[in-house]
Structure 1
Amino acid sequence: MRIRHCLAVIGIMCTAVLVAQDKQISLEDIWSGEFRTQGMQALHSMANGKQYSVLNFDRASRNSSIDIYDYKTLEKVETILNSADIADLNGFFDYSFSEDESKILLTTNSKPVFRRSTLGEYYIYDRDDKTVTKLSDDLVQEPTFSPDASKIAYGLNNNLYVKDLESGKVTQITNDGKKNSIINGITDWVYEEEFGFVRAFDWNADSDKIAFIRFDESEVPEFSMDVFGSDLYQTQQVFKYPKAGEKNADVSLHLYDLNSEKLSELKVSKTYNDFYIPRLKWTNDEDVLSAQYMNRHQNELDLWFINAEDNTSKLVLAETDKAYVDVTFDLTFLDDDSFIWTSEKDGYNHIYHYDKSGKLINQVTNGDWEVTNYYGYDEDVNTVYYQSVENGSINRDVYSIKLNGKNKERLSSTDGTNSASFSADFTYFINTHSSAMSPSTYTLNSAKDGKVIKTIIDNKDVVEKLDDYVTSQKEFSTISVNGNDLNMWMIKPANFDPNKEYPLFMYQYSGPGSQQVANRWNGANDYWYQHLAQQGYIVACVDGRGTGLKGRDFKKVTQNELGKYEVEDQIEAAKLLGKRSYIDEDRIGIWGWSYGGFMSSNALFKGNDVFKMAIAVAPVTSWRFYDTIYTERYMTTPQENPSGYDENSPINHVNKLEGDFLLIHGSGDDNVHLQNTMRMIEALVQANKQFDWMIYPDKNHGIYGGNTRLHLYTKMTNFIHETLGDKRELKPEEEKVKSQIKG
């Protein structure tokens, strides 16, 4: 009786394990956040170098707190602030310290403007007297403490303001701001999107001067989008958007002196026509401002030092490139006013050290690999910290090196994607590691030698949860395409049988300098690919020519011809994969989003003998419809390069469509406008080509909110099943020919 009972229990347990391991990843699982990993939100290293702060949120009470932890012990040593203790706060979701950490700016409410910009409600918390003060009754932009924490500057209604935190006095320092005309200190749409910043003003070291960029966009063409909402009549969003070849905003550099209360324009001793100011930053000298000027083609970048006292300027560094020069945030001024700069002038992105006059002291890093992140410089030990792909282009590692380029040391020890957040004194760093096999793990490491001191977060619960599901390994390899060894990953069904043939579904993005084949943990799309593998598909991704982290020449080969070499590589890769015995070459599909949608459309049209279906989400269908800064960086203007624009835009190849095509867009996409899809639809209709399409009302380029993502991926999944899922029965003679070719 006892033996039987034990056997029965064992049987039940075995059955339970088998059932658990057969669990399928559903679309509902993915988009409900079932596999969400834990992270460290709003991590800030305290100035003492011994502690760090994070933002913690209690979902049950809806309270937020800023907690300080000790690096050495990882124990919480203090709660600076808890929203439950302050009557005026219902909670906050972000924070930033003043430079001396005496005050904290709390974000309590925000409203998105574009991708990076928001209008927000802010409060100032004084750590000394424990008081909370509302910054403004208005929703403002980019509030920033002065270095001495006595004032805050911010943008409101296209003007700049300064609030004195002791007296409460607010000074409006510009008065000509006007919607869709003049913007002071906040970037316009195209700068925000393509140069990656919103705050176009900066405090000097003495907190008595503010430099800012002024945008005159009065002559920039307007773009309008219907906002359908829920009212009886729709409204319109109207904003300035310069499309390729059209008028940009006129930019100028200005200075406000808080002592004299005077506003003046800063000029450099060179005449520029049709130019950009993509970066401004004060040097350690309170009177010297650095500003980067770039020509419209973006193949010349000048670094200027401007003396704000006498308005004199000096050209310190001039970079040129046959294609384009990348703009970064890596410029760092050292105590002696020499500076760190990154450049790919030797063919790969590396770190350089210049003296204050712009004379090269030395190239700090060197090799046939790319620096992917610059973390900082520790003057005490004369050491630079950075991230690179020296350990293989699909991996990222953290390194240290002396400023003279010697004694390089790998500080991360596990292959995959490693990134670092250093303590203020560079004693420690928190390393975030993930790979295709392991989720994000946060560890405390010694900056001296990289040794792991303690694990902070390991996300083992996600691994344990996934153990219950049927999953497949992401296999990394290279594939030789058009004379290049391209990085590739592939996901096969868990019950893969090499004697069977499977449909192939390819994903790519392919934009200049991008990377999709990376050794890192799953994003939401990766779980979708696992779901498709469960359904019997092989999913693959190939990074073709034009993508990043393999050097300048590999990345910039697509110059003036976006969509030519990248498409050729995807078509050829699909052909090669289709020859593999386990892939059904009659059932190959491809998809992509944004640039990837541009690519998948082109691949289906130009590779109509290879691809049987494609999905394009929010695609650019002609580069004539996209913005100046991004498009002209790679293509110059349509007036200069009409063939480059037209010969590789999918809208001009719709007559070649033979397979199945699903076109998807959000009507509120301020980035890649719905115009792209509407013009594509019209071209397809006039070519008498049948296709499927879906518009998501008022959704932006990300197409999300509520059930939107679940609906979108359900629609795409169903389309894949309909077009690739049912194998066409081949005639015996076709099957024979096919097997001979593959053999």
Structure 2
Amino acid sequence: MRMYTFMIAMFLLATPTITAQNKAITIADIWKNNTFATERLQALHSMANGKEYAVQNYDRDSGVKSVDIYDYESGLKVRTAVSTAEIDGLDYFVGYEFSSDEQKVLLSTQLTSVFRRSTLGEFYVYDLLSRKLTKVSDDLIQEPTFSPDGTKIAYGKNNNLFVFDIDKNETNQFTFDGQKNSIINGITDWVYEEEFGFVRAFDWSADGERIAYIRFDETNVPEFSMDVYGDKLYQTQTVFKYPKAGEENAKVSLHIYSLGEALSGTNVVQTKEISFGNIGAYYLPRIQWTKDPNVLSVQALNRNQNDLTLVFYNASTNKVSQAFRERDAAYVDVTDNLTFLEDHSFIWTSEKDGWNHIYHYNKDGSLKKQVTSGRWEVTEYYGYDPASERIFYQSTENGSINRGVYAIDLKGKNKTPLATEAGSNNADFSADFTYFINSFSDAATPWRYTLHDAKDGRLIKSLKDNEAVKTLYNSYKVSPKEFFTLTINGEDLNAYMIKPVDFDPTKKYPLFMYQYSGPGSQSVKNSWNSANDMWFQMLAQEGYIVACVDPRGTGLKGRDFKKITQKELGKYEVIDQIAAAEKLGQRDYIDADRIGIWGWSYGGFMASNCLFQGADTFTMAIAVAPVTSWRFYDTVYTERYMLTPQVNPEGYDNNSPLSHVEKLKGDLLLVHGSADDNVHVQNSTRLVEALVQANKQFRYFNYPDKNHGIYGGNTRYHLYTMMTNFIKEKL
């Protein structure tokens, strides 16, 4: 579970010169006028030659959309690959994808959201040599993907899979049993999409002769429904399969479709179901063909998600073998870091030594080398360069609230810092790892983009620096974000504080605390953050101190720190937030009788819990789209941390806000969207009923037809106005 908000890229800058800061930040600046938008590199793609990169551009004056190619070294545009001004029948597109040989581009239009990551859309193939435009399908389709040779497109439609031959303009359907709310072929169901983070559940083999895909049988999964009121006389209803904790999941199976057999006209079976024998394969969170076109890798996971097996299926022998197995007393994270080398060895990331690090294994699963080690975390694996035999990664080696970019060889030697300035460094490497574009920010610096030599990190040139945004921010009343740690229950918890610009240590200020607190998350980070930071600055200019503390259970401080909350979500996090509020309340300049807390999603679960269980500490709380009982949330996320409610009923109930409503003393604002497909409005309605029966007064606001992000039109402006007014009234 992640809170998704579809925020516009708006940020704030803390400047050292207070005398120049005159303007007051308003909610309209943040949520209506886009006053603080920053420039970014849109849809960056490194070309195969490693010397050039592509960027999607839009000319507002002419209305022309384009994909332009730039030279890394000079930064100059060298050509335009795609321009709507030159294509008959295509006025615009919203995304692009090159074929492997970069002779064709797949262009997406008319995209409409299905769930968080999934979309339906119209797609066209544009041939860069012939300048021919070909529509893939007259219908809206999902996840179209080039074959390795660029001659075909595989895609999903109406829960079935198809292959489109571009030159022949012919379509071949190869699954036929797809049915809404019953059978899905090659596209993930709701819970896989949300919690395993992928939509395309099919993959081309390296030679383009086979397609592996996962089939989801949702027949016995309970249905969830929500009314959508719209503007008609009668509401409509959205119904889909949603497995809540302890309920039945979709039954998944793995299949291989052979295109060669289909084209040969023989009677050979074209599709095979793969049997895993005695290997536990309750979930199939990843499938990926190796460099050998006959060998498919599959990650198989048990229901408790603490036993993951890497399986190899050989299509030429029809045999399955277990290559590697990872177990953890709590759970094993599923990632996209698995990388196969030319000798069929592979790279893997794991917390097995207590911190997330990179490992190199032989093809039989035996360990060759732990590549990185130390009391810090690898936070991003960028890839492996076979030419230099180096691995590129991002980590917290320069502090848990910072991110640095490094290179290291396969033997764990010759580590090279590439971008380690205190703050957040994020790298985008060229296809051959010659260059990388570094996006850097810290709490006082908006994102800047610079080009570097990947060999040693040498700066080549600046691409974008957002200096105009810094100049704009200099005219506003903003305060520096002060980072520090709080020692709570034997742990040094990361924290930050924003004080009013005219802060006077002899005065008493109300304290407003923000947190998310979910497993493995991080809210205290030295980076240029979201529009919420602008809101916090606005509250600071109104005379509030804003603070944030990452409690136990959050990430990037080691496995044990993160997984202490196993089977008891909401226990240690609440203890730590209450203790942090009490400790901050002891400071001379904080009014301990005026402490509030706010959060969204998991943070809303925490805000309500803290107000109830910390009734003598917190004066008020705002809970937006909160989970109020983990019994109401989905199987994959919830059971990863809590097991099933049948096995762990006390863990579910003891730490649920529903179990503590009678303790409420302060003021609560509860907010939810009626069409939230993620954290269902059922959570808030059950909390409302519990509060009513406990005769507790509170405020509840429901946003009609809004999902978990509660956005669209004037919605965010209204929400943040309402929350601001509540804070001013109650804190």
The TM-score with structure 1 as length reference comes to 0.94
Amino acid paired to 1:253: L
2:375 is aligned with 1:374: no
Match of 1:696 in 2: 703
Amino acid paired to 2:274: L
Match of 2:10 in 1: none
Amino acid paired to 1:86: I
CA distance in 2, matches of 1:487, 1:417: 16
Structure 2 unaligned blocks of 5 or more: 1-16, 263-269
Shift of 1:553: 0.1
Shift of 1:90: 1.6
Match of 1:227 in 2: 228
Match of 1:495 in 2: 502
Kindly indicate whether the alpha-carbon contact (under 8 Å) linking 2:612 and 2:663 is maintained by their aligned counterparts in 1: yes
Match of 1:265 in 2: 273
C-alpha deviations, 1:539-595, integer Å up to 9, x for none?
000000000000000000000000000000000000000000000000000000000
Amino acid paired to 1:52: Y
Shift of 1:62: 2.6
Structure 1 ranges of 4+ moved more than 6 A: 17-20
Amino acid paired to 2:243: P
CA distance in 2, matches of 1:295, 1:447: 40
Shift of 1:388: 0.2
Shift of 1:370: 0.4
Q: Provide closer, same or farther for how the CA distance between residues 405 and 29 of structure 1 changes in structure 2, counting only shifts above 3 A.
A: same
Kindly indicate whether the alpha-carbon contact (under 8 Å) linking 1:268 and 1:312 is maintained by their aligned counterparts in 2: no
Kindly indicate whether the alpha-carbon contact (under 8 Å) linking 2:517 and 2:573 is maintained by their aligned counterparts in 1: yes
Shift of 1:87: 2.4
CA distance in 1, matches of 2:231, 2:582: 48
Higher RCO structure (Cα 8 Å, ≥6 apart): 2
Shift of 1:263: 1.1
Match of 2:168 in 1: 167
State the secondary structure of the residue aligned to 1:439: strand
2:67 is aligned with 1:60: no
Match of 2:48 in 1: 47
CA distance in 2, matches of 1:211, 1:308: 10
Shift of 1:109: 1.4
Match of 1:253 in 2: 254
Q: Counterparts in 2 of 1:610-621, with a 5 A limit?
A: 610-621=617-628
Match of 2:30 in 1: 30
State the secondary structure of the residue aligned to 2:163: strand
Kindly indicate whether the alpha-carbon contact (under 8 Å) linking 1:471 and 1:494 is maintained by their aligned counterparts in 2: yes
Q: Provide closer, same or farther for how the CA distance between residues 220 and 18 of structure 1 changes in structure 2, counting only shifts above 3 A.
A: closer
C-alpha deviations, 1:402-440, integer Å up to 9, x for none?
110001111004210001000111110000000001000
CA distance in 2, matches of 1:710, 1:520: 24
CA distance in 1, matches of 2:637, 2:189: 14
Q: Counterparts in 2 of 1:393-542, with a 5 A limit?
A: 393-542=400-549
Kindly indicate whether the alpha-carbon contact (under 8 Å) linking 1:269 and 1:314 is maintained by their aligned counterparts in 2: no
What root-mean-square deviation, in Å, do the aligned CA atoms of Structure 1 and Structure 2 show?
Answer: 1.0
Identical columns (%): 65
State the secondary structure of the residue aligned to 1:259: helix
Q: Counterparts in 2 of 1:646-725, with a 5 A limit?
A: 646-724=653-731
Match of 1:145 in 2: 146
Shift of 1:19: 9.4
CA distance in 1, matches of 2:20, 2:89: 48
Count, aligned residues: 707
State the secondary structure of the residue aligned to 1:260: helix
CA distance in 2, matches of 1:684, 1:18: 45
Could you say which structure has the larger radius of gyration? Answer: 1
Shift of 1:101: 0.7
State the secondary structure of the residue aligned to 2:212: strand
Kindly indicate whether the alpha-carbon contact (under 8 Å) linking 2:18 and 2:501 is maintained by their aligned counterparts in 1: no
C-alpha deviations, 1:144-174, integer Å up to 9, x for none?
0000001000000000000011101100010
Match of 2:7 in 1: none
Kindly indicate whether the alpha-carbon contact (under 8 Å) linking 1:432 and 1:442 is maintained by their aligned counterparts in 2: yes
Amino acid paired to 1:705: G
CA distance in 2, matches of 1:682, 1:211: 48
Shift of 1:351: 0.4
State the secondary structure of the residue aligned to 1:28: helix
Could you tell me which of 544, 565, 568 is aligned with 1:558? 565
2:585 is aligned with 1:578: yes
State the secondary structure of the residue aligned to 1:418: strand
Amino acid paired to 1:23: K
Kindly indicate whether the alpha-carbon contact (under 8 Å) linking 1:268 and 1:306 is maintained by their aligned counterparts in 2: no
C-alpha deviations, 1:116-135, integer Å up to 9, x for none?
00001111110110111111
CA distance in 1, matches of 2:251, 2:59: 47
C-alpha deviations, 1:614-663, integer Å up to 9, x for none?
00000000000000000000000000000000000001111111000000
State the secondary structure of the residue aligned to 2:260: coil
Structure 1 unaligned blocks of 5 or more: 1-16, 725-743
Shift of 1:140: 0.4
